[in-house]
């Protein structure tokens, strides 16, 4: 029998996995990609990307 490849099946599979909780506030931790723009020495914009874990206690530091 073939596997179900619908979007609803993929979402159900991803939510059924264990969710990490913050040890400080106890809220769920989400991993997001943070993109910041900087001006390079040549006066051109440069975009830096990094993966950041966000929860309730540090969301104001990340989102501003």
Using CA atoms, how far apart are residues 49 and 34, in angstroms rounded to an integer? 6
What pLDDT was estimated at residue 19?
77
- 10 is written with which tokens? 């993929």
Query: How large is the greatest C-alpha to C-alpha distance in the chain, in angstroms?
Result: 58
What pLDDT was estimated at residue 54?
93
Query: What are the domain boundaries of the chain?
Result: 20-63
Using CA atoms, how far apart are residues 51 and 49, in angstroms rounded to an integer? 7
CA angle 34, 23, 32 (to 5 degrees): 15
**pTM, full prediction:** 0.58
What pLDDT was estimated at residue 51?
95
Using CA atoms, how far apart are residues 20 and 28, in angstroms rounded to an integer? 6
pLDDT in tens, the chain (64 residues): 677 788 888 777 766 666 788 889 988 999 999 999 999 999 999 999 999 999 999 989 988 8
């Amino acid at each position: 029998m073939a596997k179900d490849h619908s979007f609803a099946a993929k979402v159900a599979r991803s939510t059924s996995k264990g969710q990490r909780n913050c040890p400080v506030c106890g809220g769920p931790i989400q991993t997001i990609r943070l993109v910041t723009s900087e001006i390079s020495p040549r006066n051109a914009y440069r975009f830096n990307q990094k993966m950041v874990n966000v929860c309730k206690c540090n969301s104001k530091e990340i989102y501003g």
